[in-house]
A and B are shown apart, each in its own frame.
Chain A
Amino acid sequence: MQKENEITLEKKGDVTIMDIKGDITAFSDPFLNQAYQEATHLGNRKIILKSNKEAYINSGGIALLIQLLARIKSNDQQVVIAGISDHFKKIFDMVGITKFAPIYDSEEAALQNLAADTK
């Protein structure tokens, strides 16, 4: 019954975009893990986690995202988040995700900020 995620990967210069379609819940675990492994194999250090304003993200999904951020950090990669709704920006800020992954309104804004960041 649970909707599965479809996650597409796209390379734009030195950035890989993980475009996550669907809701982010505990059921997203295998989809996020597989997509992240594939994204890492593409070789870029900079990653955009892109969702959309209609996505439902619950506590199970937040826990998965934090575990993913921890893996990204331990692999010395850089990550930002793009496209989520104002409500989930607020939620991510409350939880503390924004300390580790800045959030941008759009993929374009995320790309611009990553291009300007020479870390």
Chain B
Amino acid sequence: MTTNLNEQKVIIILPNIIGHERVAMASSASFAKMYGFSPARIEDLKTIVAEAAINAMQHGNKGRENAEVVVTLCFKNNAIHVDVADQGDGIAEVLPKPDIERIMNNQDPPVGFGVFLIQELADEVEFNLDSESGHSLNIVVKKNTG
């Protein structure tokens, strides 16, 4: 059997417990290092994976302890494709960019930073896709930015 090293997948199944996103962060960092990502880009990827997993646990699975979050990493076309799937219904709307001045003045709640960071750090983000098990977030993180 011929194995295409450019499309190897790593699948991480996380319990729906905040803190376990660190497991996916460490795995994604090792995966990116294998494919020659720079230390700065690896840090970006770790934040993206962490925030996507936390979002899936809190808002997708709504904190249900018996739910899971499945993080799939795949390297192709010089980028890591991250798929984070939960067992929820997806998100109704993507929150607008948090306005720190309004938050500092107690005019807005301090929310929306996770999705904002994913959008800022990733090259492509696609929300609210149906999969067999629930909602998934698809993210592309290119090896080289710009």
4 shortest interchain CB distances as A-B pairs: A96-B100, A63-B110, A59-B114, A87-B43
Interface residues of B, Cβ cutoff 8 Å to A:
17-19, 21-22, 25, 40, 43-44, 47, 50-51, 54, 98, 100-101, 103-106, 110-111, 113-114, 116-117, 120
Query: Smallest CB–CB gap between B32 and chain A, Å?
Result: 14
Q: A59-B54, A63-B110, A91-B47 are in contact. Are A26 and B18 (CB under 8 A)?
A: yes
What sequence of 0s and 1s flags, for each residue 44-74 of chain A, a beta carbon within 8 Å of any chain B beta carbon? Answer: 0000000000001011101110110110010
Tell me how many residue pairs across A and B have CB atoms closer than 8 Å. Answer: 61
- Identify whether the interface residues of B are mostly helix, strand, loop, or mixed: helix
Size of the chain A interface, CB-CB below 8 angstroms: 26
Chain B residues lying within 8 Å of A60, measured Cβ to Cβ, are 54
> B100 near A94 (CB under 8 angstroms)?
no
Interface residues of A, Cβ cutoff 8 Å to B:
1-2, 25-26, 56, 58-60, 62-64, 66-67, 69-70, 73, 85-87, 91, 94-97, 99-100
